Amino acid sequence: MVKFLLLALALGVSCAQHQNLEVSPSEVDGKWHSLYIAADNKSKVSEGGPLRVYVKHLECSDECQTFTIKFYTKVENVCQEHRVVGRKGKDGKYITDFSGQNYFHVVEKADDTMTFHNVNVDDSGKTNVILVVGKGESSSIEQKQRFEKTAEKYDIPKENIEHLVTTDTCNQ
C-alpha cells in the first residue's frame, strides 16, 4: 500500500512538472507582450534569431482548440509582422508552421503572465524554447526568478535567457 502511494505520488509529481495547462478564451484573448525568452540553442532567440518573437496579441477559439498568435520578428532591425494559428493535437500541444514545425503549449499561468514551452523542429534539428508573455510592458524581478526556474525545468541554461522588453521596438 505504501509502495503504491509512493508510486502515485511520484507520477503525480512528474505530471506536475510537465503539465499541460488548459486555458480558456477569457484567459487568453487580448494584448500581450513578450517579457523573457530562452532556448537551448541560444542563437535562435538572440537578436536577429528567427525564434526571437515579440508577441502582440493572443486569441483562442473553439474552446481553445485553435490558438492564434500575432507577433513580430526583427530581421536586420526591420520589424516583420506574423500571424500563426496553432491547432491542438491529440497530445494537447498546438502545432503550427513557423521557421519549421512548432509544438507549443502553456506551461504556467498567473493573473498577468502566461508561459509557453515550444519545440521547434527545422533543418538544424530540435530546439526547446520557453517564452513568458505579460499583460504589462514591464517585467519584475519575481517574474524573472520564476522564469529561471522554468528554464531549469527544461534544461535550458540561465545564461540563455534573453530580456525582450528593452529591444521591443515594433508597433509602438
Ligand X SMILES: *[C@@H]1O[C@H](CO)[C@@H](O)[C@H](O)[C@H]1NC(C)=O
User: What is the CB-side half-sphere exposure of residue 23 using CA atoms within 13 A?
Assistant: 30
> Which residue from 125, 142, 155, 172 is in contact with ligand X, where contact means CB under 6 A?
125
Looking at residue 60, the DSSP 8-state letter turns out to be: E
The answer to whether 24 contacts ligand X (rule: CB under 6 A) is: no
Number of residues that bind ligand X (CB under 6 A): 6
- d(CA 169, CA 77) in angstroms, rounded, equals 9
DSSP notation for 2-55: HHHHHHHHHHHHHHHHT------HHHH-EE-EEEEEEESSGGGTSTT-TT--EE
The answer to whether 138 contacts ligand X (rule: CB under 6 A) is: no
Stretch that binds ligand X, among 16-24, 38-46, 151-159, 163-171 (CB under 6 A): 38-46
- Residue nearest ligand X by beta-carbon distance: 124
> Which residue from 43, 68, 96, 167 is in contact with ligand X, where contact means CB under 6 A?
43
Interface residue list for ligand X (CB under 6 A): 41, 43-44, 50, 124-125
